Amino acid sequence: MRRFHISFFILLVGIFACGRLSAEPVQADYTTVELIAEDSAIVPGQAFNVAIRFVMEPHWHIYWKNPGASGLPPEITWDLPEGIEAGGIEWPAPERIPLEGLMNYGYEGVATFIVPMKASESLPVGELLTLKADLFWLICKEVCLPGDASVELSLPVADSSQPAAEATAFEDARSQQPMAVENWTVSAFLGEDGILLEIVGESIPEDLYFYAGSAGVIDPSAAQAPTFQAADMARLRLAPESTFWSEPSDYLSGVLQSGGQSWELAVPLLAGDGMLFSDEVSGLDSPAPVGFEQSLLQLGLPGFLLLAFLGGLILNIMPCVLPVLSLKVFSLLKHAGQTRREAFKHGLAYTLGVVLSFLVLAGALFALRAFGERIGWGFQLQSPEFVVVLTAIFFLFGLNLMGVFELGGRLVGADAGVAKRNDVVGSFGMGVLAAVVGAPCMGPLVAGVSGLAVQANVATGLLIFGMMGLGLASPFLVLSIFPKLVAFLPKPGLWMESFKQGMGFLLMAAVVFLALVAGQQGGVDAVMVLLLVMLFCGLGAWIYGRWGAASRSRRSKRISQVLALLLILGSLSWAIGATQAAYSNHGATTTLGDASGQWTDWSEDKVQATLAEGRPVFVDFTATWCLICQVNKRVALRTDATAALFEEYGIVALTADWTRYDPAITDALESFDRSGVPLYLLYAPDGEVTILPQSLTSSMIRQAVERAL
């Protein structure tokens, strides 16, 4: 009997401990984050609350759901057991964080985001459930750093529950949430000079401030000062964002704040005196203006060429090109004292490498299409062979910059002309690499003209793609023609060794991106193949750097070179076949952000069937290797605001994933004069199609939806 009592006591202690213990807090840059619970257990059929708690170092801050003039709000992606359903974030009232003349909205110190949960009645009592969340946030001081973490919490399922040790944290968090407006009557009007909030009631504070509930409504950096018409009536004028005039809402929501008190606000937005809420103001029925890109396309071939040049120029700042450009910047610094003639030779070699590579890639595209292959621009990143070889090149370049091995040791003491000639060849090779890596980056102004180039005759298409390559190479060509401009760059010195090694890490980041591309198309097997390639390439590079240095004997250098080549070429030969097999065996690619269930796979039949039901359709043509596509997902497409917008209008959201070659998606892209992704389409129920810009914001999507529907 005594043994039974002891066992029962241990069981109770275990259940109690499970209810109050969470996983260890995760330490990230300048903050600690953890998942906590308000109750000690989950009761079947009842709601319960958990929270994400950030504890930040002094003067560092994260952002509210409307970050203000800059920033990004925290994002939570839940991985929950069956029978547990998560609600929306209950946001604490924000505080104003001025920075360099801009007003941001966020939190310093401790920020606790409560998330209500609902438990199914069918949960078995006695089971231990683990709740997991993947977090993403931006934390800032003078600089901003993205952060991410995975947190988890284990709670038992029981017939009853008690407050957990962290229950007081939930009380504190609720005290920081905005209250309901009870003693005032608040009205909102749209006038000629902005939005007017009118507050009527007793004890109106003199320091009222309004935070719009979503970005793009008011200018967060504009001053706000209430004016009192009487003791019981105050007016607060709000300067709207420029985008608000083209997409005004019927409702104004947000938070009113005074000192340590805040009130939740959601009121109709009415037409004010002197400004009717008309089509002239809203722009709902006015014809869409002709944009810059469209105006150039209407000029014919000269406009095509100018657009291609500008699009290529913009590619220089795309993330996929930056690793290669960093090498070119280092080369410029290293040769800062060269003559105009030598500088021009390097610039011309780099430009020829870029332009010729664009022409070769375009020629291959046209040739393959002539043989019946339905491919588009950027097709190389759909190829496992290309991804494997490019991964090895970037990885070896990174090791070289970090000092694992040195190239060119045999040139020590050789004729200067030979060294210069090899440098020129290196500039040409750098241009080739920049073109090969930059071509899939469908940056702004590139999509429309590349689609036309693919549809045009071969001569016109090659001319357009060649001009795009010239735009990509133009900054370095200008620097070579006017080498005195290089003087504005930092002077060469010992710091360049640290800079060179730092650039090696940038190339390693590009390797990580390529591993992501391979993983999306070939799964874990493809990633494992790339890891083995890097292992053998790293071993080969180390052997060459250790025994192939200039100080070694000729026999030692020869043996090290042979071993390094065998390891590198042998691993590449094996990896290409293994990656092809992984791609073939891997199932259909899962698009990022589809876990919510709102986005489903695209097909033309699904589009037509949905339209026949009288429902609008939004299609996201995307690919994992398209960085601008992934940015748009994070900042605009897979956000709570867009999800609520689609639900409000009954929009069916479809994803056309072109990460792996798909002839149906290729045909659909071509039908809209596009040769690559991204492409965003909004179908009205009557079949009318709106094409959205390549770079998206939530406000752009709302504007398009409200105009079309």
Task: State whether 303 and 399 are in the same domain.
Answer: yes
What pLDDT score was predicted for residue 650?
A: 92
Task: State whether 72 and 59 are in the same domain.
Answer: yes
What pLDDT score was predicted for residue 589?
A: 43
First to last CA, the chain: 73
Supply the CATH number for residue 154's domain.
2.60.40.1250
Cβ-contact 138, 62 below 8 angstroms: yes
What pLDDT score was predicted for residue 625?
A: 67
Domain membership flag for residue 39? yes
651 or 707, which is more confident: 651
Question: Of 21-35, 41-55, 236-250, where does the model show the most confidence?
Answer: 41-55
Quick check: 627 pLDDT over 90?
Answer: no
Considering only 82-91, 112-121, 617-626, which range has the smallest mean pLDDT? 617-626
Q: How far apart are CA 439 and CA 355, in angstroms?
A: 11
Quick check: 420 pLDDT over 50?
Answer: no
Supply the CATH number for residue 221's domain.
2.60.40
Task: State whether 97 and 212 are in the same domain.
Answer: no
Domain membership flag for residue 191? yes
Task: State whether 167 and 191 are in the same domain.
Answer: no
Q: Position 505: which residue type?
A: F
Question: Of 126-135, 218-227, 361-370, 428-437, where does the model show the most confidence?
Answer: 126-135
Q: Mark which of 282, 312, 328 sits at the end of a domain.
A: 282
What pLDDT score was predicted for residue 112?
A: 96
Pick the closest to residue 628 from 378, 446, 441, 451 (CA basis): 441
Cα–Cα distances in angstroms (integers) from residue 243 to residues 229, 582, 707, in the given order: 30, 46, 14
Domain membership flag for residue 567? no
Domain membership flag for residue 553? no
Q: Position 392: which residue type?
A: A
Domain membership flag for residue 559? no
What pLDDT score was predicted for residue 38?
A: 93
Supply the CATH number for residue 609's domain.
3.40.30.10
Task: State whether 607 and 680 are in the same domain.
Answer: yes
**Helix (H/G/I), strand (E/B), else coil: 673:** coil
pTM, rounded to two decimals:
0.41
Task: State whether 329 and 466 are in the same domain.
Answer: yes
Contacts of 157 (CB under 8 A, 6+ apart): 41, 42, 43, 44, 119, 123, 124, 125, 126, 127, 128, 129
What pLDDT score was predicted for residue 370?
A: 66
Cβ burial, residue 255 (10 Å; 0-12/13-18/19+) = buried
Cβ-contact 467, 305 below 8 angstroms: yes
Question: Of 73-87, 296-310, 364-378, 409-423, where does the model show the most confidence?
Answer: 73-87
Quick check: 142 pLDDT over 80?
Answer: no
Q: How far apart are CA 183 and CA 201, in angstroms?
A: 6
Cα–Cα distances in angstroms (integers) from residue 52 to residues 143, 148, 499, in the given order: 23, 13, 38
Task: State whether 139 and 98 are in the same domain.
Answer: yes
Question: Can you state the angle between helices 495-547 and 554-585, rounded to 10 degrees?
Answer: 100
Domain membership flag for residue 323? yes
450 or 628, which is more confident: 628
Domain membership flag for residue 533? no
Task: State whether 491 and 401 are in the same domain.
Answer: yes
Q: How far apart are CA 586 and CA 520, in angstroms?
A: 9
Contacts of 585 (CB under 8 A, 6+ apart): 522, 523, 525
Task: State whether 48 and 156 are in the same domain.
Answer: yes
Question: Which residue range forms the structural domain that includes residue 627?
Answer: 594-708
Q: Express each pLDDT in 629-659 by its tens digit.
A: 777 888 889 888 899 999 999 999 999 988 7
645 or 422, which is more confident: 645
Express as a percent the part of the chain with pLDDT over 70.
Answer: 75
What pLDDT score was predicted for residue 412?
A: 33
Cα–Cα distances in angstroms (integers) from residue 584 to residues 377, 579, 657, 691, in the given order: 22, 9, 16, 33
Task: State whether 326 and 358 are in the same domain.
Answer: yes
Q: How many Cβ atoms sit within 10 Å of the Cβ of residue 290?
A: 10
Q: Mark which of 282, 306, 327 sits at the end of a domain.
A: 282
What pLDDT score was predicted for residue 588?
A: 44
95 or 71, which is more confident: 95
Considering only 204-218, 353-367, 420-434, which range has the smallest mean pLDDT? 420-434
What pLDDT score was predicted for residue 403?
A: 81
Q: Mark which of 148, 176, 204 sits at the end of a domain.
A: 176
Enter the tokens of residue 695. Answer: 């770079």
Q: Express each pLDDT in 163-172 by its tens digit.
A: 998 999 999 9
Domain membership flag for residue 451? yes
Task: State whether 322 and 467 are in the same domain.
Answer: yes
Task: State whether 211 and 276 are in the same domain.
Answer: yes
Q: Position 118: which residue type?
A: K
What average pLDDT is seen over the chain? 78
CA 129 distance to own-chain centroid: 32
Pick the closest to residue 239 from 228, 257, 225, 227 (CA basis): 225
Considering only 118-132, 138-152, 239-253, 573-587, which range has the smallest mean pLDDT? 239-253
Return the ∠ at Cα 8 (arms to 7 and 9), rounded to 5°. 90
Q: Provide the number of structural domains found in the chain.
A: 4
Q: Express each pLDDT in 257-313 by its tens digit.
A: 998 899 998 888 776 543 333 333 333 333 333 456 556 665 667 877 888 888 788
